[in-house]
Amino acid sequence: MDSPVERLSSSSKEAIGRFSETSARIQVKVRKSNLDSHHHHHTVATPTRRSLSSFSRDSFASAFPSPPSSTTSSPVKRTSLLRTMKRTMASPPLSSSHSSSTKPQCKYISGSSSTGSPRPVAVPHTITERHGGMELWVKAPMLAGEMEKQGFRWRKKWKTRYVELNSRMLSYYEIADDHHGHVAKKARKRAQITADGFLEDIDERSFSVTPSADEKPWVFRASDAKTKMKWCKALTDCIDILNWLQHYELGDVLGVGGNGVVNQIVDTRNGKQFAVKSVDVSKFKNREAVVSEVEIMRNITNNIKHPNLVKIYKVYEEQDKIYIIMELCTGGELYDSIVKRGCYSEADAADIMKQLLSALQALHKYNILHLDIKPENILLSSKEKDAKIVLTDFGLARMVNGKKNPLQGGTSMAGTVGYIAPEVISSHNYTAAADVFSAGVILFILLVGYPPFQGDSEVEILLKIARGDFQFKNEDWAHISTPAKELVSRMLEVRADERITVDEVLNHPWFNEVRSDCELAKTMERLQRFNFDRKSENMGSFMSSMLSDVTEADYRTLVDIKTIRTMISQLSPEGKDRIPLGKAHLIAKGLGLSPYVDEKSFVGFLDQNHDGFIDAQDFCEGVKAVRDHDTSFAKIIYVAMHKVIEEDTCAPSPLDHKLTRKDFETVFEKLNCPEPLVKVFFKYIDEQGQRPDDGSSDDADPVELVQQTGEDWEVDENQFVDVFAQFPFIGSLFLRTAKDNMTMIVKSKSIDLFPRISEDSSA
């Protein structure tokens, strides 16, 4: 009997033969495609990537990443600034002199044309000096829109996708098939572009981009040639920037301020060193202020060109981070240098002031006011004995139309307490005279070693400045010349219109005639103490910023062990990375502790490992304990509340005395607690106290109050710990900065930032 195949017609047999041949050809093409993929080093593993949200919150070192070291699909582990400090980065030369000798390292490779020869992507490169661009401000490209994307599988199907380039992160999203065309919230695929990424030109509308050596090519087809070129420019700019960035190596932390961290960076090609200031504009909401600062520094660098004014070289912006690359001053802060030099005279003070006033004179000629003259902003160019001073930090600087036209500051008061001019305090008017007053404070300190305006609080200091309340103590000014004393008086004149001008200061006889070379030994001793106190308070202020950052993400960006260790080593008399408890009380002062809080107890609380010293780890753990409403901190606040009550009643309040409703009312009133928080607090506590305690519930409320009659209740120390955990704003009342932050939150009606309160108040 014939087999089934033999019974087939001849035409059927021919069809089967053609099908077999076609299948064989397809298999050969698939194998060839796989071989080509391996030939071009395109791995099939998913590259390491991270979400856009986490990328935008990275520390400064994230702007200078190493190439991916892993091709696993798990997300990149977020690292602190400490772990990424010594990373080699991707950066361009800061001097135009390198543009002619440095060849492009990124690849702009084209696909094959009809003749099979490469065709380069015709996009001009103007971002970095390496390609001839001399722009001061370099901004990472951001672009989004719909394009067709070719699939990665062998069928190479084209589908419309929503594509997004966010700095160096390339993503695409699915688009719904319905008529609304909704874009998916989660990206179908993401890849981080690296310096070895490259583009390939395919045809008039199509191109491919290979984000990194570990990625396959992503093939796109734009709606028209213009859209294609827009995408090609953004992608080539991105790769160009990454090649520019990779030549910089991040160094040590040089300083920490209220609006950024300053690091040292090195151009690995020529060894040139710079300083880079990183600012998180999403956190400080001050992009316009940064733009203004950069414009003023550009004016200084290109037009004023004064040797005592810091120079700017480049600005790089990526998402919410702005990095200002500027002149490096290796000599450190002025007062640190004076303390270390060993000998110091009135003549030295005159040399310093002449340079400072000369810099201010140059600024004022261009109608620029600095408005933040203080020790931290006066640096030395090098560690040499004859190093020049350099005036830095133009974050508060402003432009005016003329010296006689004061700039209205609205309700804000620009400057630093202790150095702000009286007219700025009283009427928020800014003129060149304000800089002269601040320079007068610097001169006062240089001559006697302490500031003219002192007080137990910032309010007291501001009031003294407004009144011109300072003294020339005979025992401290005995060895200071009369012309110097007369100049200080004229620079600290309360009335701005009667204050000496910059030009008059530089022509004052003290600079030219009286130059005493007598060593000011007592001044050196006092200056050393003042310098230590100042740095301690600055560290306390830094601690305040760690406490006032509401979100956990913002808090993590500030917790950097290396930065904090640097600050502590500057405080330590021996330059070590820890401070003895006896010297640490000023950290508490800088934090703005209420006078009701026992400083000794709080400093002991910061010593988390109880070794008699505070190091960086203690500092971070102490801040975290405060943020987490630690029991030990709650007990410190409990004692402080008793001190408030003692002051109000003029009678002792022993710790075994339980706090009543009336006691809480007294504390809230004395410490000016915002009314909305008071209402929420008592509403919750009264409700908890009125619940019957019949033992019927297994889930007892953590706040167990001793019930009396009506709304009367009492709280002992252990019960207060539970109350404190529910209402952490009580602790903020005893911390000046945290209290100010809390008040702003309440005024903005953002009480949802206190979840425990919001949830309970809605019950």
Catalytic annotation, residues:
372
Rounded CA gap, 156 and 208, in Å? 13
DSSP 103: P
Three-class SS state of 260? strand
In terms of Cα–Cα distance, which of 332, 552, 534, 541 is closest to 442? 534
Burial class of residue 360, CB neighbours in 10 A (0-12, 13-18, 19+)? buried
Rounded CA gap, 365 and 296, in Å? 13
Neighbours of 649 (CB within 10 A): 11
Residue 277 known to bind ligand: yes
Query: In Å, how far are 91, 109, 135, 330, 635 from 267, measured between CA atoms?
Result: 8, 27, 19, 16, 52
Alpha helices in 334-431 (DSSP H): 334-341, 346-365, 422-427
Neighbours of 250 (CB within 10 A): 23
In terms of Cα–Cα distance, which of 454, 483, 484 is closest to 349? 484
Dihedral over alpha carbons 746, 750, 754, 757 (to 10 degrees): 80
Phi-psi region of 204 (alpha: psi -120 to 50; beta: other; left: phi over 0): alpha
Query: In Å, how far are 215, 237, 728, 757 from 751, measured between CA atoms?
Result: 46, 43, 13, 8
Measured at the CA of 579, the angle between CA 575 and CA 582, to 5 degrees, comes to 130
Amino acid (1-letter code) at residue 110: S
Longest dimension (CA), the chain: 132
State the binding site.
Answer: 277
State the binding site for ATP.
Answer: 277
